[in-house]
Amino acid sequence: MGTFPAHHLKGLLEEDCWALFKQRAFSMGKEENVDFVMIGNDIVKKCGGVPLATKALRSLMHFKHTKTEWLFVRNIEIWDLPKDKESTILPDLRLSYNHLPSHLRQFFTYCSIFPKGYRIKKEQLIHLWMANGSIPSKGNLELKDIGNEIFNELL
């Protein structure tokens, strides 16, 4: 509220960002070969020490299995966009959203109806998706079960 001077946090050290990144990017038996490590280090540098950006990108890279996919993320032009006051979304977070499967984007975007800091309850969110008619039917599965799958994919 302005009664005390703001304390501006510095970004994480590069080695800490790397440790955070590789936890998920190289999990489940994915090998840390030299090419992926070099590309991953370049990606981590672009995160600028921001833990949220690093976590978002490590989750994205977890699902990328080829060197070409990793190079695409490292070299995409979104990193070169100017960061001005009007563009408050970090390019790496925007990149993570852009790589979200299209069928999940509407469900992720729906969450924007909640105010910042609101604790979204899983059951409530699934019921809202159902009430909106957003959840597509899949064979004999109940809409609630499909909503649960969607929620877990987003998580």
The answer to whether 64 and 73 have CB atoms below 8 angstroms apart is yes
- Give the 3-state secondary structure of residue 87: coil
Q: Which pTM was predicted?
A: 0.55
Q: What is d(CA 110, CA 34) in angstroms, rounded to the nearest whole number?
A: 40
pLDDT tens sequence across 22-38: 888 887 666 778 888 99
Question: Over the Cα atoms of the chain, what is R_g?
Answer: 18
The answer to whether 18 and 41 have CB atoms below 8 angstroms apart is yes
Domain positions in the chain:
10-99, 102-155
The answer to whether 150 and 107 have CB atoms below 8 angstroms apart is yes
Q: What is d(CA 84, CA 23) in angstroms, rounded to the nearest whole number?
A: 31
By percentage, how much of the chain surpasses pLDDT 90? 14
pLDDT averaged over every residue in the chain: 81
pLDDT tens sequence across 79-89: 665 555 434 44
Region 109-134: mean pLDDT is 89
